[in-house]
Amino acid sequence: MKKRALGRSGLEVSSLGYGAMGLSHGYGAATDRQEAVRLVRAAFERGVTFFDTAQIYGAENEELVGEALAPFRGQAVIATKFGFDLDAPAGQQVLNSRPENIRKVTEGSLRRLRVDAIDLYYQHRVDPDVPIEDVAGTVKQLITEGKVRHFGLSEAGVATLRRAHAVQSVAAVQSEYSLWWREPEQVVLPACEELGIGFVPFSPLGKGFLTGKITESTEFGSGDMRGTTFPRFSPENIRANQAFVDFIQQVAAKKGATPAQLALAWLIAQKPWIVPIPGTTKLHRLEENLGAAEVELSPDDLREIDAAAERITIHGDRYPAHLQARVGR
C-alpha cells in the first residue's frame, strides 16, 4: 500500500484508510467484538495505517480500535473525534465543544484507544455556541501537552476552516465526498489545496450505494440509518438513482475492477492529499476495497467519468434538514 501525506502537516498515512463506524454504529447490529478486532488487524496487516473512529460512535468503537491496534503502536495512525456531550440522554446528539468538555472527553478517548496521544483529533461538527478560535486554542494546548498530535475538522465550512487554521494548523478536513456527492469540490477542496490541508472523504462508496449491492427492494435492518434517516435511500430514490450505479458498473467493467474499486480509485485520483476511509464489516469487502489502490485511471478515464456523471441527475437529499443544518458551518 502506497503512502500519502495529508497536506503539509507531516502526517503520512496509507492511500486508503479504514472507517470503523459501521462496526458498532449506524448500520444495524454491532459486529462481534473479537470479529471486529480481527478485521481491523487484517486491515493493518494488508497495509492500512490510517484508522478512523469517534466518541459519538460509542465507547465500544474506540475500545475495539484501541484493542486491535495495541500490538502495532507507533505504526498506525488513529483518528477520533470530539464535539458532543457524551452525558446527553441516550439517543440524543447534543453538540458540546466547550473547552472544558473537550478536555474531559479527551481523557476518555486516550484511555479507550490505549494511547498516550491521539494522532488526529477532529471536531466532529462545528458548535455554533463556541467560537472556533476557542476550540482550536484548546486543541493547541492539548498538542503542547503531548495528548494530541494533529488537529482536524469534520464537515466544517471554509470560513470556519480558515479561522481555525489561523490559531492551530489543521492537518485534515473530513467530509462526505464521492462520485455521487461532489459538493466539496466547490469551495472546500480549493481551500484545502491553498492552505496545505489534507482531505479525508467519509462514505466514499455512498454509504454502500455505489457498490451496486443496494436495490429498491433492499430491506435495511433495525438500527440501520439508511432505512430511517437518509432520504437518498427511500425506495423511490434508490430506483431513480439506479442509472448512476449502472454507469459506474460499465466503467468498472472496462477497467477490470468492481464498482467499489472504481469509486475509490476515482477519489484517490482526484488529489495526492485525499485519503478515503471506506468501512466494512466483512473481510472479503475489505480486500476488495483495498484493491482499489491498484486501479489506475488515466486523465482520459477521469474525463470520461466526469462527463458521464454530469449527465445523470441524483435524486434525494444527502441528509434530512436537521442533520444538514449541522454541516458546512
- Domains in the chain (CATH in brackets) are 3-208+271-295 (3.20.20.100)
CA distance 325 to 8: 30
pTM for the structure as a whole: 0.97
Confidence of residue 26 (pLDDT cuts 50, 70, 90): confident
Degrees to nearest 5, angle at CA 71 with 12 and 144: 50
Classify residue 258 by burial, with Cβ atoms within 10 Å: 0-12, 13-18, 19+.
Answer: buried
CA distance 145 to 149: 10
Summarised one tens digit per residue, pLDDT across range 181-196 is 999 999 999 999 999 9
CA dihedral 154, 155, 160, 161 (to 10 degrees): 60
Q: Which of 112, 117, 104, 123 is CA-nearest to residue 59?
A: 112
pLDDT exceeds 90 at position 6: yes
CA distance 201 to 176: 5
Among 138-142, 207-211, 214-218, 263-267, where is mean pLDDT lowest?
Answer: 214-218
CA distance 129 to 147: 25
Confidence of residue 10 (pLDDT cuts 50, 70, 90): very high
Average pLDDT, the chain: 96
| Residue 28 per-residue DSSP state | S
pLDDT exceeds 90 at position 9: yes
Residue 289 is placed in which grid cell? 476495497
Active site residues: 57
Q: Which of 241, 260, 71, 274 is CA-nearest to residue 175?
A: 274
Q: Which of 207, 282, 200, 262 is CA-nearest to residue 23?
A: 282
Confidence of residue 91 (pLDDT cuts 50, 70, 90): confident
